[in-house]
């Protein structure tokens, strides 16, 4: 008989073990929930349960918390204490390993994280260069045959690596269009790429350095390299909208080659080329603004305007304007539209000052 009682007691203990060793939450209405405390922002608390998954609870409705494992409790006075938590009289009692039990008034609790959440947060503050990237790749393609023989390919890649105090931004884009029934057959051949590094000085002010490169076959621009540095200001910095203003100096190095015959001849001869092969080197200002705004749950618009006044030749300048949108179709797939305007006040004699570009196609987003 005694042995049967011992076996029954063991079975009962094993059956209750999960609830005994789990975190327990008691609500004002008397309900009790068991699971694992994941995180809290002082307003709601997320409890991971075995059968219901993550359950969100109003923090003000909780009368008692008892945890088995350590929690990281951050307070309004910017202190963090770590240890198993129990609560009583509207206070959290954190059993720290070195400082004994620390009492934290519930009203002073700013954040609560378990070990996994805290590790993820710490990693987000200082991610390695190979982690923490997010962005998207754009693809647009069209083909026509019959009365016309045209091909158009537009590719773009935008990526950002933000941390708590700095950010790296990369962009690459290419547009190529040809018409085999025209002479010359290349209608557009533009490549742009760049990288920018921002470093916060204050919550609103940041310093930046950047390098941008462009090749434009229709303007006979072999390569333009622009190396810039300066200061920026976060005029708006919220979850849905960011607006930055930037100002600085840049060094520009650009090379134009001899272009196509003027007038065109078939076949071309050396004497029919207009000679304007030239290399320009000069200092210029960098003045610009960047806007990102989220419309609803699925659409993000971006817009930027940059002006580069030449300091060596007063009155000469370049300007770029871009406006785009991405509408999410799924978590990783979206539809993108992009409008761009590139203006050069002093292009080669046979080239126009303005290039207007519009592309549309698919966007593939990524996070790493």
Topology of the domain covering 134-367 = Porin (2.40.160)
208-238 pLDDT tens trace: 999 999 998 877 889 999 999 999 999 998 8
Report pLDDT for 300: 93
As to burial, measured by CB atoms within 10 angstroms (0-12 exposed, 13-18 middle, 19+ buried), residue 9 is: exposed
The most confident of the ranges 129-133, 348-352, 357-361 is 357-361
For residue 19, the model assigns a pLDDT of 44
User: Tokens representing 156?
Assistant: 């773009």
Give the integer Cα–Cα distance in Å for 165 and 230. 17
pLDDT tens track for 91-104:
888 999 887 889 88
Question: 317, 233, 255, 257: which is closest to 283 by C-alpha?
Answer: 317
Residues 6+ apart with CB under 8 A from 25: 32, 33, 34, 35, 37, 45, 47, 57, 62, 64, 65
**From 7-16, 43-52, 194-203, 311-320, the region with the lowest mean pLDDT:** 7-16
Please say if the pLDDT value at position 10 is more than 90. no
Q: What is the reported pLDDT for 159?
A: 92
Ordered by start, the domain boundaries in the chain are 2-125, 134-367
User: Mean pLDDT for the chain?
Assistant: 84
The pLDDT of 79-91, averaged and rounded, is: 87
Average pLDDT over residues 63-74: 91
C-alpha to C-alpha distance for 77 and 242, rounded to whole angstroms: 28
* Angle made by CA atoms 226, 229, 231, in degrees to the nearest 5: 140
pTM over 0.85: no
Integer Cα distance of 70 and 40 in angstroms = 14
- On the question of pLDDT at 20 being above 80, the answer is no
pLDDT, tens digit, for every residue of 111-145?
999 998 888 887 776 667 777 788 899 998 878 77
């Amino acid at each position: 008989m005694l042995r049967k009682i011992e076996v029954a007691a063991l079975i009962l203990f094993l059956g209750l073990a999960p609830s005994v060793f789990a975190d327990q939450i008691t609500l004002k209405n008397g309900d009790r929930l068991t699971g694992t405390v994941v995180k809290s922002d002082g307003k709601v608390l997320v409890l991971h349960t075995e059968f219901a998954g993550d359950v969100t609870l109003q923090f003000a409705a909780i009368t008692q918390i008892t945890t088995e494992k350590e929690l990281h409790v951050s307070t309004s006075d910017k202190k963090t204490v770590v240890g198993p938590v129990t609560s009583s009289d509207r206070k959290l009692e954190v059993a720290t390993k070195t400082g004994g039990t620390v009492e934290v008034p519930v009203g002073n609790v700013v954040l609560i994280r378990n070990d996994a959440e805290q590790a993820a947060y710490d990693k987000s503050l200082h991610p390695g260069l190979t982690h923490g990237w997010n962005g998207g790749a754009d693809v647009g393609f069209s083909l026509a045959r019959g009365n016309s023989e045209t091909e158009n390919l537009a590719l773009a890649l935008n990526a950002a690596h933000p941390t708590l105090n700095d950010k790296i931004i990369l962009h690459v884009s290419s547009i190529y269009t040809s018409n085999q029934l025209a002479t010359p057959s290349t209608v557009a051949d533009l490549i742009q790429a760049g990288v920018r590094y921002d470093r916060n000085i204050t919550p609103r002010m940041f310093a930046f350095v950047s390098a941008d490169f462009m090749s434009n076959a229709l303007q006979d621009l072999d390569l333009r390299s622009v190396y810039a540095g300066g200061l920026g200001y976060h005029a708006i910095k919220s979850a849905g909208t960011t607006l930055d203003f930037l100002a600085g100096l840049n060094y520009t190095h650009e090379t134009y080659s001899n272009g196509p015959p003027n007038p065109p001849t078939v076949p071309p001869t050396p004497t029919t080329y207009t000679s304007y092969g030239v290399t320009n080197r000069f200092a210029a200002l960098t003045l610009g603004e960047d806007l990102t705004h989220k419309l609803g749950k699925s659409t993000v618009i971006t817009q930027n305007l940059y002006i580069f006044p030449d300091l060596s030749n007063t009155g000469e300048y370049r300007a770029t304007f871009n406006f785009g949108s991405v509408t999410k179709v799924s978590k990783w797939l979206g539809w993108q539209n992009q409008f761009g305007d590139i203006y050069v006040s002093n292009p080669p004699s046979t080239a126009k000052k303005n290039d207007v570009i519009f592309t549309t196609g698919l966007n593939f987003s990524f996070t790493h």
